[in-house]
């Protein structure tokens, strides 16, 4: 006595406009929108002290997600609770010698800076701890080093999926499917000015205590249309970090809010690609490079997938200069939790429709020879070999897939066929999330859609899906509540023999069956002619 599947009803493709969350939820979202959390541990921290307050302000210009501690034990306990951020830590020399042995091997801890008055003495004991990246006597130098650490953390956090040649759909990394479907969905949605304004309002509330980011929000609001999306993506502010964190964690709430920009950025890369590569001669290949760290688990997965496919699920920045990328890989290799990877990527513009473009002259930083790929770019994995015999540093050869790649075509076709091609927009994404048992994320999608529903028919379909989610979670009372709401609407608007009514009766009967209320089970099953 199972639960009915999707009714296949098509939904309109306008994006939801979200209501503002509570202040508490927005504060929690700050951590989810940034890769790095900064911790400062010092016995003498006093935020009422002018010097201390100014130091915190300087640090917040680099990482606005900062927590301060004066007690070492409390700090260690806090670090153990972190699971969605990488931690950069500033600790005084006296405390550091005692605390570092307790936190150094935590995977969430990326970098440690020692802040002290006696630089030479503390340099002696810090040499045995590879995550300690320097001993400093002034906050300005720490801020410069922190900028580099943050950039490395963001580079290393790029979401990657691996697909072996023989993998079945139900064995795929969910992120691989999500980003492909998400990209297809976003490119079909018509975004309006109101969605941009809702996003700005949300950002103001999130950063209401951050003077520096509020200035950036103002700049974004007043000049967004004056600059191309690639400039905004490479802009040194919250926008880039928010987007990449949302894609990496599949934060549905944030992806709905920032969806307008994902579409704008993809179209901008597409536009530049047409001008730069459409007339490219067949066979004229070039090579780009990407350096970053992979967790040991991801590295093992990649070696098992050699010859298969690899997808970068964010927008992907690469360089034509190997030295820049090699430096990132070498830095990652010094972290005992990571394997440094230099990706050597072969690109043939003539046989691939994947949009990528040179952004050297149009980005915020004007970085020479930078090539930016759109999200969910897929490559085939070639050779994997250590560099100079270092098992913590590897070179990995990738080739950009082309339109004739049979494995990719088969995979893409299967994903589309199995992910509700008759439904559209966010409704389709919700169905996919249910299929992949990502019930919490699916509930986020349908709650947002419910808030924006403009007619009763849409509301009934949304209640139906929320009921399915609760049914699969075995939360039968809530499932019953949603199914009954869908039934009331359908009874008022549909003829008695409509299949959607039969579906509602069947769903409610299934819930009562699992609640062991068999008389009500029979009552509702008797109303469904398909069961009689």
The per-residue DSSP string of 200-221 comes to HHHHHHHTTT-HHHHHHHHHHH
Residues forming CATH 3.40.50.2300 domain(s) in the chain: 36-156
Check residue 5 and give its pLDDT. Answer: 46
CB 344 within 8 A of CB 301: no
What mean pLDDT is predicted for residues 427-451? Answer: 87
- As a CATH number, domain 420-525 is 1.25.40.10
Start-to-end CA distance of the chain, whole Å, equals 13
- Phi (first) and psi of residue 377, to 5 degrees: -80, 135
pTM score > 0.75 for this model?
Answer: yes
Percentage of the chain lying above the pLDDT 90 cut: 62
Domain formed by 36-156, architecture: 3-Layer(aba) Sandwich (3.40)
Neighbours of 117 (CB within 10 A): 10
Residues forming CATH 1.25.40.10 domain(s) in the chain: 420-525
Neighbours of 5 (CB within 10 A): 12
Closest CA to 404 of 351, 345, 349: 351
CB 296 within 8 A of CB 304: no
Q: In this structure, what DSSP letter does residue 321 have?
A: -
Check residue 177 and give its pLDDT. Answer: 80
477-495 confidence digits (pLDDT tens): 999 999 999 999 999 999 9
* Residue bearing tokens 């004056």: 226
* Overall size of the chain counted in residues: 532
Dihedral angle at the C-alpha atoms of 287, 291, 292, 295, nearest 10 degrees? 70
Check residue 169 and give its pLDDT. Answer: 58
Burial of residue 3 (number of CB atoms within 10 Å: 0-12, 13-18, 19+): middle
166-207 confidence digits (pLDDT tens): 766 566 777 788 788 888 888 888 888 988 999 999 999 888
- CA gap 328, 318 in Å, rounded: 11
In the predicted structure, residue 452 carries a pLDDT above the cut 90: no
Check residue 1 and give its pLDDT. Answer: 44
In the predicted structure, residue 532 carries a pLDDT above the cut 90: no
Neighbours of 303 (CB within 10 A): 14
Q: What are the structure tokens assigned to 309, written together?
A: 């496919």
**DSSP helix/strand/coil, 393:** strand
Pair type for strands 109-115 and 286-295: unpaired
Strand partners, 358: 371
What mean pLDDT is predicted for residues 320-327? Answer: 95
Domain formed by 160-174+278-414, architecture: Alpha-Beta Complex (3.90)
Top mean-pLDDT range of 3-12, 85-94, 177-186, 243-252: 85-94
Check residue 438 and give its pLDDT. Answer: 83
- CA gap 53, 365 in Å, rounded: 30
In the predicted structure, residue 6 carries a pLDDT above the cut 60: no
Burial of residue 399 (number of CB atoms within 10 Å: 0-12, 13-18, 19+): middle
Q: What are the structure tokens assigned to 6, written together?
A: 């999707």
Dihedral angle at the C-alpha atoms of 462, 465, 470, 476, nearest 10 degrees? 90
Residues forming CATH 3.90.176.10 domain(s) in the chain: 160-174+278-414
Closest CA to 434 of 256, 189, 178, 184: 178
20-59 confidence digits (pLDDT tens): 444 555 556 666 678 899 999 999 999 889 999 999 999 9
Cα dihedral 163, 168, 174, 178 sign: positive
How far is Cα of residue 157 from the mean position of the Cα atoms in its chain? 9
Check residue 506 and give its pLDDT. Answer: 94
């Amino acid at each position: 006595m199972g639960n009915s599947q999707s009714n296949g009803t098509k939904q309109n493709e306008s994006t939801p406009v979200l209501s503002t969350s509570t202040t508490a939820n927005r504060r929690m979202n700050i951590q989810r929108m940034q890769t790095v959390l900064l911790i400062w541990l010092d016995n003498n921290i006093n935020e009422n002290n002018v010097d201390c307050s100014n130091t915190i302000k300087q640090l917040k210009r680099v990482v606005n997600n900062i927590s301060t501690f004066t007690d070492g034990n409390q700090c260690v306990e806090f670090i153990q609770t972190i699971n969605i951020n990488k931690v950069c830590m500033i600790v005084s020399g006296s405390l550091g010698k005692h605390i570092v042995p307790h936190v150094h091997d935590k995977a969430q801890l990326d970098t440690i800076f020692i802040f002290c008055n006696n630089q030479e003495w503390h340099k002696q004991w810090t040499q045995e701890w590879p995550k300690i990246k320097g001993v400093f006597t002034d906050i300005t130098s720490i801020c410069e080093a922190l900028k580099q650490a943050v950039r490395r953390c963001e580079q290393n956090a790029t979401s990657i999926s691996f697909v072996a040649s023989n993998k079945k759909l139900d064995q795929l990394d969910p992120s691989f499917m999500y980003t492909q479907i998400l990209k297809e969905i976003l490119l079909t949605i018509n975004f309006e000015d109101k969605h941009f304004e809702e996003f700005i309002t949300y950002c103001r509330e999130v950063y209401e205590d951050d003077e520096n980011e509020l200035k950036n929000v103002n700049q974004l609001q007043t000049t967004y249309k004056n600059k191309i999306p690639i400039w905004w993506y490479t802009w040194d502010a919250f926008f880039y970090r928010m987007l990449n964190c949302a894609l990496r964690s599949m934060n549905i709430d944030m992806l709905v809010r920032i969806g307008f920009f994902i579409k704008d950025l993809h179209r901008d890369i597409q536009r530049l690609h047409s001008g730069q590569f459409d007339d490219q001669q067949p066979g004229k290949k070039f090579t780009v490079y990407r350096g970053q760290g992979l967790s040991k688990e991801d590295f093992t997965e990649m070696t098992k997938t050699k010859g298969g496919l690899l997808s970068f699920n964010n927008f992907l920045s690469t360089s034509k200069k190997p030295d820049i990328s090699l430096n990132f890989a070498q830095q990652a290799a010094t972290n005992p939790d990571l394997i440094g990877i230099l990706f050597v990527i072969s690109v043939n513009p003539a046989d691939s429709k994947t949009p990528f473009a040179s952004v050297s002259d149009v980005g915020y930083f004007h970085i020479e020879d930078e090539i930016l790929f759109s999200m969910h770019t897929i490559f085939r994995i070639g050779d994997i070999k250590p560099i100079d015999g270092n098992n913590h540093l590897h070179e990995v050869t990738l080739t950009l897939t082309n339109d004739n790649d049979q494995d990719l075509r088969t995979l893409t076709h299967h994903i589309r066929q199995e992910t509700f091609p008759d439904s559209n927009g966010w409704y389709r994404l919700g169905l996919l999330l249910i299929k992949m048992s990502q019930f919490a994320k699916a509930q986020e999608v349908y709650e947002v859609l419910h808030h924006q529903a403009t007619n009763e028919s849409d509301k009934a379909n949304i209640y139906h899906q929320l009921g399915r989610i609760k049914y699969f979670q075995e939360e039968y009372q809530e499932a019953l509540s949603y199914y009954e709401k869908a039934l009331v609407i359908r009874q008022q608007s549909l003829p008695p023999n409509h299949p959607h009514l039969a579906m509602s009766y069947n769903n409610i009967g299934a819930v009562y069956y699992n609640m062991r209320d068999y008389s009500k089970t029979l009552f509702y099953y008797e109303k469904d002619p398909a069961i009689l």
